[in-house]
Structure 1
Amino acid sequence: MRLNDCHNFHDFRRLAQHRLPGPIFNYIDGGADDEVTMRRNSAAFETCDLVPSVLRGVSEVDLSTTVMGQKIDLPVYLSPTALQRLFHHQGERATAAAAEKFGTMFGVSSLGTVSMDELARKHRTPQVYQFYFHKDRGLNRAMMEQAKASGIQVMMLTVDSITGGNRERDLRTGFSIPFRLTLGGLYQFAIKPAWGIHYLAHEKFSLPQLDAHIDMKGDALTIGRYFTEMLDPSMNWDDVAQMVQAWGGEFCLKGVMSVEDARRAADIGCTGIVLSNHGGRQLDGSRSAFDQLDEIVQAVGDRIDVMIDGGIQRGSHVLKALSLGAKAVGLGRYYLYALAAAGQPGIERALGQLKAEIVRDMRLMGARRVAELGPQNLRFRH
């Protein structure tokens, strides 16, 4: 199988599985516990149908939108995800370059493998910095100051990960940073030598956002211990309100799922929220973001930008989310499989196909611009 054989999400997933050692593929592919929520994220979009309008004269389609003060050419953005240079040696460099080519926003994680400073210097498109709340308040301040110095406009605090989810696929393979592989996991690396050659031939793996503040090298601290020992489960609304005030700009909470929490986010001055269950990787049994979208948009959509992520596999999924009032839709696994499959050309092919699907579906729906989509386009099945 080659990149030219990839025509949809599932094709990219298969090619990624072919190219990655099993433990790394399963790190991307897996969810928490029984993976019920992970499966529900995509299935949720099947609970409603699109109702097209015809004879609307849709010769041109404008996909541009504005979210958290950032003008983007596509109503989708590349969500911040961790450890990208494990999946392909280009890592976030490929992600950022592909996002720039399509004129959309991309996120860089605290657990990113390329420096946000480097990416901000190279690319003109908006960059979101996603971070976690640490027990060390000085560390939180330092990381925000570093982001501000890099020229980043949008801060995104992840609030659904005060402790790590129970990802049993990783337990079976021994996946961690640094690697502590089981025999089965070692075998999976041995039968995919191309990945190892690329990994060793390029720059040493690092976590530049954290390396300046925390010793993440050697056996000092694995990613799992980072979540259990460094992050602060006592984080509360007062803590976040102080961070919003200190940042003084576009500030987004990622992982909000209830109307009450959405209202609190607006009350403390957040400019955006991402409805998210972390791709089903945290609390298994959690509701899907799409299932919560209408209720939350009705409650706070006039006060705060509402985005969603989780389970996006098709342009029609994007249209359904936009029709319920999402300002933009975040992609995670959608572009990570493409990154793993072929680096920057993989992400560009995946985004090109998704854009073509959205344009085609907008024409078939009779919508010339994103603002013309609304609840009138949808009917839910009961």
Structure 2
Amino acid sequence: MTITCIEDLRVLAKKRVPRMFYDYADSGSWTESSYRANEADFQAIRLRQRVAVNLEDRSTATQMVGQDVTMPVAIAPTGLAGMQHADGEILVARACEAFGVPYTMSTMSICSIEDVAAATRQPFWFQVYVMRDRGFIERLIARARAANCSALVLTLDLQIMGQRHKDLKNGLSAPPKPTLANLLDLCRKPRWSLAMLRTRRHGFGNIVGHVQGVDDLGSLAQWTARQFDPALSWDDVAWVRRLWPGKLILKGVQDVEDARLAAASGADALIVSNHGGRQLDGAESSIRVLPEIAQAVGQRIEVHMDGGVRSGQDVLKALALGARGVYIGRSMLYGLGAMGQAGVTRALEIIQRELDLSMAFCGRTQVGQVDGGVIAKSSPQWALR
């Protein structure tokens, strides 16, 4: 199969990954309206083509929170990546290291921080929540420091869990329920099943064995169910800031008022994000609220975004509307589920190539030149800066 776009990787991943894990990645909460809006609102933005511009010496290279990157794209933290493909987090980290973009590892990964650190040479980023067990979070942050992680991403929009209907119907839990339908589906995915048999990494490596009383997936399920903290406040952000001396990125900002609080918190960047449409269904798309947030705080804190990014053109549009960096989650998971490390690399290649060509067609040769001038006036009013 010739892979030319992210959609090709999605189709292949759907064939190869068990339904419960594919659906976990490719779904939103409730009616999935925000999940769909993340993509649809990107498509509504039109680009302004320019001609007779010298397009030699093009480059997509730039920086995100002071780190050199091959393009302004990082991998968003995604739980259960190691269930899209065996040893998934290690494979993604290696692909990112070779390509020159940041990999953000999730607390809810299958592989552990130490697994990824041992398999890579360059620092990666790590994502945390504020959980009720503050001692565990302190130890987790200390482990991230020991692994030489170069940035910490703090997720703010998962105090309580959104209702995700596909996960409920599939029986996705920790551990997954071995229903007859799930077992039959596994039998139809021999490539995935054989790879899983070859690895020892099947649990949540950052948690199991690192919390007293949590020694297997059964006890993990009980612990996780009571750990997300609905009492999270900006005082907790200040607490994490004191614990973490490196770059701090706040994920899950959707409102200008919250963006101002993030800018005042001492964090280095914020991520405009609706959690991929997996939390508040009916929330605005990330790209729609990005311009207002960037205009309000973009001089005080680095503004990034995620949600609905499926192409290099989406990256270009986000940059034009004020983002300094863009994150991909599902686009990466499609590649991982389809082809492992090679699939992640292919996803990154596709997005960089599309970004380079689209930037050139709009008369820009460097990422730093991208501004609102690349957006056509026929675009929605919210996309015109």
Which interval holds the TM-score relative to the shorter structure?
Answer: over 0.9
How far apart in 2 are the matches of 1:100 and 1:74? 13
- 1:225-240 superposed matches below 5 A: 226-240=223-237
CA offset digits 1:253-307 (Å, max 9, x no partner): 1101111111101111011101111111111111111001100010000111111
Letter in 2 for 1:22: R
Q: Alignment partner of 2:249: what SS?
A: strand
- 1:115-154 superposed matches below 5 A: 115-154=112-151
Q: Alignment partner of 1:211: what SS?
A: coil
How far apart in 1 are the matches of 2:91 and 2:14? 19
Letter in 2 for 1:220: S
Q: Alignment partner of 1:49: what SS?
A: coil
Q: How many residues are matched?
A: 377
TM-score normalised by the chain length of structure 2: 0.94
CA offset digits 1:117-174 (Å, max 9, x no partner): 3433543444111011111221221111111111112111111111111111111111
How far apart in 2 are the matches of 1:204 and 1:117? 12
Equivalence for 1:202: 199
Paired residues of 2:113 and 2:143 also in contact (CA < 8 A): no
Q: Alignment partner of 1:306: what SS?
A: strand
Equivalence for 2:89: 92
Q: Alignment partner of 2:259: what SS?
A: helix
Q: Alignment partner of 1:308: what SS?
A: strand
Instruction: Note the C-alpha offset of 1:220.
Output: 1.4
How far apart in 2 are the matches of 1:153 and 1:331? 19
User: Of 285, 289, 292, which aligns to 2:286?
Assistant: 289
Equivalence for 1:377: 374
Equivalence for 1:165: 162
Q: Alignment partner of 2:217: what SS?
A: coil
User: Of 70, 83, 94, which aligns to 2:80?
Assistant: 83
Check 1:108–1:216 CA distance in 2 against 1; reply closer, same or farther (3 A cut): farther
Paired residues of 1:90 and 1:344 also in contact (CA < 8 A): no
How far apart in 1 are the matches of 2:156 and 2:140? 16
Q: Root-mean-square deviation (CA), in Å?
A: 1.6
Paired residues of 1:105 and 1:125 also in contact (CA < 8 A): no
TM-score normalised by the chain length of structure 1: 0.94
Instruction: Note the C-alpha offset of 1:252.
Output: 0.9
Q: Alignment partner of 1:325: what SS?
A: coil
Instruction: Note the C-alpha offset of 1:13.
Output: 0.9
Equivalence for 1:217: 216
Check 1:287–1:226 CA distance in 2 against 1; reply closer, same or farther (3 A cut): farther
Paired residues of 2:90 and 2:115 also in contact (CA < 8 A): no
Check 1:226–1:330 CA distance in 2 against 1; reply closer, same or farther (3 A cut): farther
Gaps of 5+ in 1: none
Check 1:227–1:115 CA distance in 2 against 1; reply closer, same or farther (3 A cut): closer
Gaps of 5+ in 2: none
How far apart in 2 are the matches of 1:166 and 1:21? 21
Instruction: Note the C-alpha offset of 1:33.
Output: 0.5
Instruction: Note the C-alpha offset of 1:227.
Output: 4.9
Q: Alignment partner of 1:234: what SS?
A: coil
